[in-house]
Amino acid sequence: MTGGQAMGGCMDLGAVAPEMVLAGSALALVPVAGWVRGRWRRLPAAVALLALLVAMGLTAPMLTAPPREAFCGTYAVDPFRGFYQLVIEAGALVSLLALGSHFRGSEQEPHHPVALLMATVGGMGLTAATDLGLIILFLQMVSFPSYLLVLLVRSDGPAQEATLKYFLYGAAALAVMAYGLTFLFGLTGSLNLRAIGAGLAGADRAWVALAFGLVLVGYGFEMTLVPFHVWAPDVFQGGTAPASGFVSVVPKVAAFAGLLRFLLAAMPDGLAAWPTVLALLAAATMTFGNLVALRQASLKRLLAYSSIAQAGYVLMGVAAAGQAPEALPAIGYYLAAYLLMNLSAFAVVAQVERMTGSDALAAIRGLGRRAPGPAAALALALLSLAGVPPLAGFAGKVFLLVAAIEGGFAWLAVVAAANMAVALFYYAAIIAETYFRDPDRAEGPASGAGYAWALGLCTAGTLGLGIAPGLGRGLAQLGATLLR
């Protein structure tokens, strides 16, 4: 009977209300997606859109909630979770808009919202989970529907190979991570992150370092850190552009939030020298991503390497997160900005790809003349990714650099600045191709209300966050409070 009572005491369904709305909608949509025909095929996307909006409304109050734990210490309710869940939901919303337009009228139209919602729930859970079992579960949950999303294509292409690569690599990476988590359990006898943090204080350093090294593989896989990034270019290129956009954003944001919670709760005081390890990984990731991106001719591949480099910038903030109080809001702000600019770029590529069937650099030649709106959105997104003021990417990079300098990683700030210098080059090459070459072909990119809404939201966000960074940073500052 006591077990039952304890169970009742731990039950706190309000703590998972947004997740339940999304998961419930996804489950309800499973049979619906199999049955709908004709114009009813739009129904699942509409339901998913509604569910996401409701979930955002339910998540928002957590931004100001006092930190507490739910479900017997396995799940956190704190502003940190509220902020990152909002970012993830926003990313899912924009991706859904673009995906909806992309699959309009095709066989896959009813299927993608189900996968998207499930992956979103997984990502959201990862930001809140404080229990090793839940962490591995949610990592799987964000990954598997993502594999399915990559597999959904309008016409058969290299998507199968990409999915298989994604799946195999992900399975191996998450298995290694789960193995690492067993060490943590063995060392402390607990699955709870905070109990582990307390228990590791007296543990053997070598075992802790080994466990950390193994655990990092799983997060590194989702965040596309070098050397766990190998899947990303093929998957981004093989998948359809809006799905690649989703995969480049939602799992990454979720993994960053999860890693931050893991590091700050379970490995306090820079245990296993994680700040240094992450700083080195950040330097490797950004340098590698930018160098390879210099010579890409495929837009999706280029954006893949670019997103690898961007992950390196964010990781710079994570490395400083233990030392500098500036780091957490900087990371939050940058991830929000990254989401907007990256999804905007992918949405334009999706439009071009849908119409021309190609994502080669030549496909956007003269886009400025064929489609002024998407071309301008693309240019803004790329300039923001490159960190040109006054766009969101610039303020975000300044925050991250300041955080790195504050956190004692001045050398890393120098490396990052050099990388930003190199990166502008390939972004500018795309813009030059868009505006300063005469178009090869006459047709414009595919149009659709979903694309237009996605682009409009992202562009407005990129400009708004960039011109008035105070607001976004204020939100990110709220989200810097987490249960420790």
Partner 1 sequence: MTALLAVPLLPLVAAAAALGLGRRLPRGGGELVVGAVALALAGLASLPSDAALSATWFESGGYRLTVGLAATPLTRFVAAVVAGVAVCVGLYGLGYMAGRDDRPRFFAELGLFVGAMLTLVLSSSLALLFAAWEVVGLASFLLIGFDHAEPGAAAAAAKAFLMTRIGDVGLLLGWLLALAAVGTTDVDALVGAVEGGRIGPGTVTAMALLMLAGAVGKSAQLPLSAWLPDAMVGPTPVSALLHSATMVAAGVFLVLRLYPVFAASPGALDTLFWIGAATALAAGLIATAEADLKRVLAWSTCSQLGEMMVALGLGGPGAAAFHLAAHAAFKSTLFLAAGIVQERAGTRILVRLGGLARALPFAGAAFLVAALSLAGVPPLSGFRSEEAILAVASRHGPGTGALVVLLVLLGGIYIGRAGAATFLGRRRGAVGPSGPDWAMRAGLGLLALAAAGLGWLLAGRFGAALPFAAPETEAGWRRLGVAAGLLGLGLGAARGWSGAPALGALPARLAAGLEAVTEAPARRTLWLARTVPAVEGALDAGARAVAGWAWRSAGWAGRVEEGGFGRGGDRLAAGLAAGGERLRALQAGRLYLYTLGLFAWTAAALAAGALMLWP
Q: Which of 436, 440, 443, 449 contacts partner 1 by CB under 8 A?
A: 436
Q: How far is the CB of 479 from partner 1 (least distance, A)?
A: 15
Distance from C-alpha of 288 to C-alpha of 230, rounded to nearest angstrom: 12
- Residue among 161 and 204 whose Cβ is closer to partner 1: 161
Q: Which of 50, 189, 390, 443 contacts partner 1 by CB under 8 A?
A: 390
- Residue among 101 and 307 whose Cβ is closer to partner 1: 307
Answer yes or no whether residue 131 interacts with partner 1 by CB under 8 A. no
Answer yes or no whether residue 297 interacts with partner 1 by CB under 8 A. no
Q: Taking the alpha carbons of 122, 399, 226, 247 in that order, is the dihedral positive or negative? A: positive
- Residue among 2 and 155 whose Cβ is closer to partner 1: 2
- Residue among 126 and 415 whose Cβ is closer to partner 1: 415
Q: How far is the CB of 389 from partner 1 (least distance, A)?
A: 4
Answer yes or no whether residue 361 interacts with partner 1 by CB under 8 A. no
H runs (alpha helix) in 36-158: 43-59, 79-102, 112-128, 132-151
Structure tokens at 65: 């909630």
Map the footprint of partner 1 across residues 230-259, applying CB under 8 A: 230-231, 234
Q: How far is the CB of 202 from partner 1 (least distance, A)?
A: 34
Structure tokens at 67: 């930190």
Using the rule CB under 8 A, give the single segment among 96-104, 278-286, 411-419, 439-447 that binds partner 1: 411-419
Q: Taking the alpha carbons of 368, 371, 377, 381 in that order, is the dihedral positive or negative? A: negative
Answer yes or no whether residue 418 interacts with partner 1 by CB under 8 A. yes
**Helix 112-128 crosses helix 241-266 at what angle (to 10 degrees)?**
20
Distance from C-alpha of 210 to C-alpha of 189, rounded to nearest angstrom: 17
Answer yes or no whether residue 376 interacts with partner 1 by CB under 8 A. no
- Residue among 5 and 38 whose Cβ is closer to partner 1: 5
Distance from C-alpha of 423 to C-alpha of 387, rounded to nearest angstrom: 9
Collect all residues with Cβ–Cβ distance below 8 Å to 154 and sequence separation of at least 6: 102, 103, 106, 108, 240, 354
Answer yes or no whether residue 428 interacts with partner 1 by CB under 8 A. yes
| Contact between 119 and 19 (Cβ < 8 Å) | no
Q: Number of C-alpha atoms within 13 angstroms, CB side, residue 338?
A: 32
Distance from C-alpha of 223 to C-alpha of 483, rounded to nearest angstrom: 23
Q: How many residues bind partner 1 (CB under 8 A)?
A: 51
Distance from C-alpha of 446 to C-alpha of 435, rounded to nearest angstrom: 18
Nearest to 303 by CA among 351, 250, 348, 367: 348
Question: Vertex 313, ends 235 and 423: CA angle to 5°?
Answer: 75
The separation between CA 66 and the C-alpha centre of its own chain, rounded to angstroms, equals 26
Answer yes or no whether residue 174 interacts with partner 1 by CB under 8 A. no
Using the rule CB under 8 A, give the single segment among 50-58, 179-187, 247-255, 385-393 that binds partner 1: 385-393
- The total of other beta-carbon atoms located within 10 Å of residue 64's CB is 10
Distance from C-alpha of 460 to C-alpha of 391, rounded to nearest angstrom: 10
Q: How far is the CB of 194 from partner 1 (least distance, A)?
A: 26
Map the footprint of partner 1 across residues 443-482, applying CB under 8 A: 468-470, 473
Answer yes or no whether residue 399 interacts with partner 1 by CB under 8 A. yes
- Residue among 6 and 449 whose Cβ is closer to partner 1: 6
- Residue among 92 and 431 whose Cβ is closer to partner 1: 431
Distance from C-alpha of 383 to C-alpha of 341, rounded to nearest angstrom: 9
Using the rule CB under 8 A, give the single segment among 239-247, 259-267, 405-413, 452-460 that binds partner 1: 405-413
- Residue among 15 and 308 whose Cβ is closer to partner 1: 308
Residues that bind partner 1 (CB under 8 A): 1, 4-5, 8, 161, 164-165, 168-169, 227, 230-231, 234, 288, 291-292, 294-295, 325-326, 329-330, 388-390, 394-395, 398-399, 401-402, 405-406, 413-414, 417-418, 420-422, 424-425, 428, 432, 435-437, 468-470, 473
